[in-house]
Amino acid sequence: MPRFSVRWMVALLLILVLFGAFFFCEYLIYFPTILKCAWPKISHARGEEGIDGRSMDSAVRAMVLSDTHLLGAVGGHWFDKLRREWQMERAFQTALWLLRPEIVFILGDIFDEGKWSSQKHWEDDVRRFHRMFRHSTDTELVVLVGNHDIGFHYEMDWFKLQRFEKVFNASSTRIVTKKGVNFLLVNSVALHGDGCPICQSVEKELIKLSRDLNCSLQSSQSGGGLTDSCEGSQLYPPTSPIMLQHYPLYRVSDAGCTGLDAAPPEERHLLFREKYDVLSKEASQRLLQWFKPRLILSGHTHSGCEVLHDNKYPEVSVPSFSWRNRNNPSFILASVSPGSYALSKCFLPEESTVIGVYCSAGACLLLLILAHCMWMKGLLQCLSLCLLGKHKSL
């Protein structure tokens, strides 16, 4: 075989290995992983019809993720930022294309440095977020506020909160209704209970929403009539809400949490700090008494957990969506009707798998180069022996 043909063949193999590894790890890997996920079916045991008579086919398909932590200008290395944002963008866009959710919730900590970023850096972070999490008009994107977006209680102020609300064109505490399902969004960063102006405003809004929901239930039970105490209240579908917030409700630790996405064993018994890792006992009890939610979805801890409060209020902590925080990010798929719901978890590709593929590709490249060098060396030795033999015969 001509020498130049061997070189071209080796070069072609090298390019194929490099391109194949890159294309698989940066594009294709998300498809087989997310294709394993499916929308959960609501169990008939939990009610075949909603309170308002809707059939199970009308369930809302909601995708829930948390803690994206888009890196900022201060603490984010450019390569780390590029890598993590590309991973989240590809995962999110692939999930949208394959699963087609009707509504997507992100449970806070959208940005990593929102609590101290300048206006210029804030605008850059927002621009990148909208590029990564772009979506069609068929999908509604709802964003909740987290401590990294506006700061912990002692760091937050009206400017940061209003800047966040202006970007996402909505109040941080409100009810989103879809197909007869009430999704209650709570600004849990402001539930410190110390009477700060933002805390007072949020608590006032929560009390109003609680009154509106209770009056809606009373109106439904009384055939549409309202009592005097409910005059002027806004009516919602008469169903218990799904409560979404950044901070989990109070729990001692993650000791009872299990599963692939639970906190590492060495961290599960670490005690949580009230008003920092979880909400305080008082704030948690107030929320449960005010709203009696049928499900609570929260983030913040970056790990998965399932907790049952007071033996009747289930809470699911949603792990981080960023590979910077976990080797195995995931998100929740929720099928929710007015009278029932079902959840399933969708895991994304593990970063260790991607690293393993790249390492395997590197090993293949090295073997190809070594084999080529050895083949060329053997060929040169044969040629030299042949030439030496001819020389001696002459």
**Tens digit of each residue's pLDDT (9 = 90 or more) over 262-315:** 999 999 999 999 999 999 999 999 999 999 999 999 999 999 999 999 999 999
The pLDDT, as a whole number, for residue 52 is 43
In sequence order, which ranges of 143-235 are alpha helices (DSSP H)? 147-150, 158-168, 197-221
319: which residues sit within 8 A by CB, 6+ positions away? 66, 67, 261, 302, 303, 304, 326, 329, 330
Helix, strand, or coil (residue 332): strand
Does residue 369 lie in a domain region? no
Q: In this predicted model, what pLDDT tens digit does every residue of 219-239 receive, in sequence order? A: 877 766 667 678 778 889 999
Provide the whole-model pTM. 0.88
Residues 262 and 292 in one domain: yes
- Residue at 379 is within a domain: no
Tell whether 124 and 15 lie within a shared domain. no
Q: Which residues contact 38 (CB under 8 A, 6 or more apart)?
A: 333, 344
**Nearest alpha-carbon partner for 110 in 167, 162, 60, 61:** 167
100 and 213 in a single domain? The answer is yes
CA distance 107 to 21: 33
Are 248 and 301 spatial neighbours (Cβ–Cβ below 8 Å)? yes
154 and 20 in a common domain: no
pLDDT of res. 53: 42
Asked if the structure places residue 327 within a domain, the reply is yes
Distance CA(303)–CA(10), nearest Å, equals: 46
Let me know whether 215 and 109 are in one domain: yes
Task: Provide the number of structural domains found in the chain.
Answer: 2
Phi-psi region of 223 (alpha: psi -120 to 50; beta: other; left: phi over 0): left
Q: Is residue 47 part of a domain?
A: no
Q: Within this chain, do residues 185 and 82 fall inside the same structural domain, yes or no?
A: yes
Q: Give me the phi and psi of 164, to 5 degrees please.
A: -65, -45
Does residue 287 sit within a domain? yes
At 18 the pLDDT is: 78
Q: Are residues 254 and 336 in the same domain?
A: yes
Q: Which residues of the chain have pLDDT under 50?
A: 1, 45-56, 391-392, 394
Residue 269 belongs to domain with CATH number? 3.60.21.10
Same domain, 195 and 305: yes
pLDDT reported for residue 354: 86
Give yes or no: residues 101 and 203 share one domain. Answer: yes
Spell out the residues 6+ positions from residue 139 whose beta carbon is closer than 8 angstroms to its own. Answer: 96, 100, 101, 102, 103, 104
Rounded Cα gap, residues 374 and 318, in angstroms = 53
Is residue 360 one of the residues assigned to a domain? no
Q: Are residues 27 and 71 in the same domain?
A: no
Q: Are residues 28 and 135 in the same domain?
A: no
81 in a structural domain: yes
Edge to edge, the sheet with strand 340-347 lists 140-143, 103-106, 60-65, 330-337, 340-347
Please state, in angstroms and rounded to a whole number, the distance separating the CA atoms of residues 216 and 224.
Answer: 9
Please indicate, yes or no, if residue 49 is contained in any of the structural domains: no
Same domain, yes or no: 26 and 171? no
Burial annotation 182-215 (CB, 10 A radius, 16+ → b, else e) = bbbbbbbbbbbeeeeebbebbbebbeebbbbbbb
Range of the domain at 296: 58-221+232-348
